[in-house]
């Protein structure tokens, strides 16, 4: 009888754990979907040389810097103009609802005060824990903060033979007996990040392929045990909470089980029509404002505000999030070209944010003149190119009861016959970035 009771108690306990895990997952994804738009920050000593993060020592040749010189950059890193509050307030002004900061990139330099390596921010002329300052400012402003943590670490002797050039073995050497020690090092640092810097919105891994070597389930379990509300992306092996196409927007809506290439556009199994909610694969694209992640004074190929707003809309129309990167200067300043675009995006979102935050993919995809998002019984039509006479939609099966333009909250005339909806453009004030019409349905 005791054996049966014990088995029943164990079953109940396991059931309770599974229910709690499901609840946490639902709440994590709800918070992720509500946020929709975030700020990515790539920053470290590499900004001193105005080169990309880590890649100059992984694939040298075009950066004009040797590995030996790259390794000395922390000795010159002194961002005396860094102001964490200003960064967080800029993100808020841009309408961004979470931030993701590079705690450690592939080069192994830690921009937090870890106990487990000397290759860190507190051993630079600056000498202070930057992540701690950012976490404090984010908490004060109510801004969720996540951490980017690179599983590759070109500075750690357990990850690779550090006596060799990084370009020869930057993918790591898991066949060496030191590899388990490196995984232990990862766990020690992740414990620091999860216990010393407050609530973590997301742990954003970047495994650079062949990610099974990192024993990702181990670190998923670690994160879930310490911060069950922290999201985890898909770049350490297991699928995680969301997938991460990079520098691009997928051609369709990701479904569970579809292949969404991280960098290369090799998407397979995407849906051209809205999937059932239970079949949808949450996702987030990460994108730069110019062409590089880190600060680069020579990279002047900036995307326009219109391009960025429409990329955000496109992501939302397919159910995704938009993580937009900035690379601050060596002094700690977010350059004015970035700030100008971010503030302009914030102004657009101040009028049209209800059509982005907390929305999901719209019932109509591939519209020739714009995109559609949805929230409950309201559909949001984002018009990129205003037709000369009227906006026409076919294939809409919901009954529309009213339409309003969000810029000015102005009622819009319409007529609906069957699945065809026609809206005369007279009286609609076009927005140069995107004009949003809210369609109430029943």
**Tokens 């033979």, located at residue:** 161
pLDDT of residue 388 exceeding 50, the answer is yes
Q: Which of 359, 374, 408 is the last residue of a domain?
A: 359
Nearest to 387 by CA among 420, 422, 413: 422
pLDDT in tens, 294-303: 999 999 999 9
In a domain, 423, yes or no: yes
How far is Cα 183 from Cα 219, in angstroms, rounded to an integer?
9
Which residues share a beta bridge with 288? Answer: 325
| 327 and 383 part of one domain | no
| 48 and 191 part of one domain | yes
**CATH number of the domain residue 384 falls in:** 2.60.40.1180
| 354 and 374 part of one domain | no
How far is Cα 331 from Cα 265, in angstroms, rounded to an integer?
35
In a domain, 155, yes or no: yes
Q: How many domains does the chain have?
A: 2
Q: What is the DSSP string of 211-255?
A: GGGG-HHHHHHHHHHH-TT-EE-STTSS--S-B--BSS--SSB-B
Supply the pLDDT for residue 11. Answer: 55
In a domain, 2, yes or no: no
Q: State the virtual CA torsion across 407, 409, 415, 416 in degrees, nearest 10.
A: 90
| 350 and 374 part of one domain | no
pLDDT of residue 418 exceeding 70, the answer is yes
| 366 and 355 part of one domain | no
Mean pLDDT score across all residues of the chain: 94
Q: Which of 343, 359, 375 is the last residue of a domain?
A: 359
Q: Which of 359, 377, 409 is the last residue of a domain?
A: 359
In a domain, 379, yes or no: yes
| 312 and 437 part of one domain | no
Whole-prediction pTM: 0.94
| 339 and 382 part of one domain | no
pLDDT in tens, 239-280: 999 999 999 999 999 999 877 766 655 667 788 889 999 999
| 235 and 336 part of one domain | yes
How far is Cα 438 from Cα 405, in angstroms, rounded to an integer?
6
In a domain, 194, yes or no: yes
Two tokens, residue 202: 């997301």
Pairing of strands 321-326, 284-288: parallel
In a domain, 43, yes or no: yes
Q: What are phi and psi of 316, to 5 degrees?
A: -65, -35
**CATH number of the domain residue 242 falls in:** 3.20.20.80
At 438, is the secondary structure helix, strand, or coil?
strand
| 352 and 374 part of one domain | no
pLDDT in tens, 279-335: 999 999 999 999 999 999 999 999 999 999 999 999 999 999 999 999 999 999 999
User: Degrees (nearest 5) of the Cα angle 172, 202, 125?
Assistant: 65
Supply the pLDDT for residue 260. Answer: 77
| 311 and 420 part of one domain | no
In a domain, 68, yes or no: yes
Supply the range of the domain harboring residue 432: 362-441
In a domain, 129, yes or no: yes
Supply the pLDDT for residue 2. Answer: 44
Two tokens, residue 40: 């990515």
| 333 and 388 part of one domain | no
Supply the pLDDT for residue 1. Answer: 43
Two tokens, residue 112: 């937090």
| 92 and 34 part of one domain | yes
CB 310 within 8 A of CB 245: no
């Amino acid at each position: 009888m005791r054996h049966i009771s014990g088995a029943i108690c164990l079953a109940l306990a396991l059931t309770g754990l599974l229910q709690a895990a499901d609840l946490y997952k639902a709440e994590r994804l709800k918070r992720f979907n509500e946020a929709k738009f975030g700020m990515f920050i790539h920053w470290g000593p590499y900004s001193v040389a105005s080169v990309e993060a880590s890649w100059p020592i992984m694939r040298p040749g075009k950066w004009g810097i040797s590995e030996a010189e790259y390794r000395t950059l922390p000795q010159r890193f002194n961002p005396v103009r860094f102001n964490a509050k200003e960064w967080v307030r800029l993100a808020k002004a841009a309408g961004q609802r979470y931030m993701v900061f590079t705690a450690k990139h592939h080069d192994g330099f830690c921009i937090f005060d870890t106990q487990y390596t000397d290759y860190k921010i507190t051993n630079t002329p600056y000498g202070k824990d930057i992540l701690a300052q950012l976490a404090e400012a984010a908490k004060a402003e109510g801004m969720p903060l996540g951490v980017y943590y690179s599983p590759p670490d070109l500075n750690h002797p357990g990850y690779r033979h550090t006596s060799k050039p990084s370009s020869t073995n930057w993918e790591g050497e898991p066949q060496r007996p030191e590899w388990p020690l490196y995984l232990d090092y990862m766990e020690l640092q992740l414990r620091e990040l999860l216990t010393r810097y407050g609530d973590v919105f997301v742990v954003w891994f970047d495994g650079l392929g062949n990610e099974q070597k990192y024993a990702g389930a181990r670190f998923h379990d670690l994160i879930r045990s310490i911060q069950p509300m922290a999201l985890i992306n898909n770049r350490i092996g297991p699928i995680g909470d969301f997938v991460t196409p990079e520098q691009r927007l997928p051609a369709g809506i990701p479904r569970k089980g579809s292949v969404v290439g991280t960098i290369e556009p090799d998407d397979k199994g995407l849906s051209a029509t809205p999937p059932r909610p239970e079949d949808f694969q949450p996702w987030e694209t990460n994108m730069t404002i110019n062409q590089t992640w880190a600060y680069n004074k020579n990279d002047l190929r900036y995307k326009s505000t219109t391009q960025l707003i429409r990329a955000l809309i496109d992501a939302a129309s397919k159910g995704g999030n938009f993580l937009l990167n900035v690379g601050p200067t060596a002094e700690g300043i977010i350059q004015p070209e970035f700030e100008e675009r971010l503030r302009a995006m914030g102004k657009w979102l101040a009028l049209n944010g209800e059509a982005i935050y907390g929305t999901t993919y719209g019932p109509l995809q591939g519209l020739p003149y714009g995109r559609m998002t949805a929230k409950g019984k309201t559909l949001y039509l984002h018009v990129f190119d205003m037709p000369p006479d009227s906006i026409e939609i076919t294939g809409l099966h919901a009954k529309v009861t009213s339409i309003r333009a969000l810029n000015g909250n102005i009622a819009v005339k319409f007529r609906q016959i069957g699945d065809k909806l026609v809206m005369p453009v007279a009286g609609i004030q076009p927005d140069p970035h995107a004009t949003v019409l809210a369609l109430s349905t029943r």
